[in-house]
A and B are shown apart, each in its own frame.
Chain A
Amino acid sequence: MRLEEHPILNFSRGPKLTIAFNGQRLEAFEGETVAAALHAAGVYHLSDSHNLHRPRGLFCAIGQCSSCMMVVDGRPNVKICITKVHEGMTVESQKGKGDLGWYEKK
């Protein structure tokens, strides 16, 4: 859920845009991180762990803990807590360690 009113802060959000999370369209605002957009939409289960396939969520939000890695625009292992949204971005839950094919294609 987004905060509209706050006793101290004013949130000036950028223009509205659309991203896709596992094929589902979500509203986001320019300037915010993928993590912020997903949390605003109530998405907390981001990916699954490699071995035990346990749900993974956001933990540190500063690009340090690697808990929030997802597939963004086809690129695996992207830390979505420090990645900004853009119009038409695709965000997918990551299964396993990620396909290195993206780097070869690049």
Chain B
Amino acid sequence: MVRKEIVIVGGGPAGLCAALQAGHLGAQVTLLEGDDLLGGQLVKQTHMFFGSEKQHAGTRGIDIAAMLLEELRQLPNVEIKTNVMVLGRYEDGSVTIDDNDRFKVLHPQKMVIATGAGEKMLAFPNNDLPGVYGAGAVQTLMNVYGVKPAKRVLMVGAGNIGLIVSYQLMQAGVEVAAILDASPRIGGYLVHAAKICRAGVPILVRHSVKQALGKESVTGAVIQQLDEKWQPIAGTEQTIECDAICLAVGLTPFADLLWQCGCDMKFIPELGGHTAVRGKDMQTSVEGIYIAGDVAGIEEASSAMVEGYLAGLNAAISLGYGGEEAKKLKNEYEIQLNDLRSGPVGEKIRSGLSKVSAN
């Protein structure tokens, strides 16, 4: 059994920032990442970020990941382990891991869970055919490995992910047949939607997929219009020719580890699904287990980073690191989070968070 001070699960924006903050305060940190690539979804984001300068607005996601990693590599008290999957946590606090095919047991004093989120599925006949992808998968193939996922894609979902991935597909020379959204209006920022409309790609609101076509893989899709009650309108079916259907219909927290740890959980639709009840310090109902990023509720990378800093900070403070300055930082991060969640755009998040806040 290996004793550790703080173990961080997940090397995306939240996990990297938690490691950075706790590391800067002098704590012994071990960061575990299931993939061999660090940065999580940041490594696929070729667009420039919004938000405020403190969260690197105006910088592309891929460059933010590189900056965070560079900073992290200068901290000798932060150990980074890739290709490591956390298997479970036991009642005595020990954590079992699969470390590159070897079974190991760690005994951390504190744990920050930043496992992120995954694509939601949409129910329609043939949704299991090859060629039906989550939007994240399309980004991985295209932006990380430089491989075209398809020739002509039907995008489902006109939120920010659907719009941004559509634009990235066009940049990569892939045709986008159309973007559908079941709701009566485009959910994402209009600045993204306008770029796509200018390129001549139709954005069809109140439309959904009736079924995917194909035997071995997707060869097309039947789409249909929906009425005010979200019910299909008979006779509005059209067939779209495409060799891929990309789903961007929202994300749901990867909360398995939170359940397994016995955290108090709640189903919060505004936050994408089940997540853990937490205090202002990001600590769950299980003492010593903190959460940050999308697993704590679906938001965006900017707030994931600040939550990561905050969780890392509080975990380190609870071990006796940091002085007065650390307390000031805590206040600063809380203000940053409030700023990111302010205004009408943050209304849903604020409503969701009010239901999982323990204090």
B-binding residues in A (CB < 8 A): 1-3, 6-9, 11, 13, 32-33, 35-36, 39-40, 44-46, 49, 54-65, 67, 81-82, 84
Contacts and interface: CB of A to CB of B under 8 A. Distances in A.
Interface of B: 34-36, 46, 60, 62, 118-119, 128-134, 136-137, 140-149, 171-173, 215-217, 254
Contacts of B171: 6-8
B60 A8 contact: yes
B80 to A, nearest CB: 17
A57 B147 contact: no
A44 B36 contact: no
Given A3-B173, A32-B145, A65-B118, A59 B34 contact: no
A59 B145 contact: no
A83 B172 CA distance: 24
Contacts of B60: 8
B46 A9 contact: yes
A29 to B, nearest CB: 9
A59 B132 contact: yes
B134 A60 contact: yes
A35 B140 CA distance: 10
Contacts, number: 100
Given A40-B147, A65-B118, 6 more contacts: A44-B216, A57-B131, A60-B119, A62-B118, A67-B128, A81-B140
Contacts of B148: 1-3, 39
B32 to A, nearest CB: 14
Contact of B146 (A6, A55, A81): A6
15 contacts: A3-B142, A3-B148, A3-B173, A9-B62, A11-B146, A36-B141, A44-B217, A54-B128, A55-B129, A58-B130, A58-B141, A59-B132, A67-B128, A82-B34, A82-B36
Nearest to B126: A54
Contacts of B132: 57, 59
Contacts of B142: 3
A99 B255 CA distance: 30
A33 B42 CA distance: 18
Nearest to A82: B35
Given A59-B137, A62-B35, A1 B130 contact: no
A104 B248 CA distance: 41
Contact of B140 (A1, A49, A62): A62
Contacts of A55: 129-130, 215-217
A33 B130 contact: no
Nearest to B83: A82
B14 to A, nearest CB: 15
Contacts of A40: 145, 147
A74 B254 CA distance: 30
Nearest to B151: A1
B134 A59 contact: yes
A35 B141 contact: yes
Given A9-B46, A39-B147, A58 B137 contact: yes
A23 B60 CA distance: 41
A62 B136 contact: yes
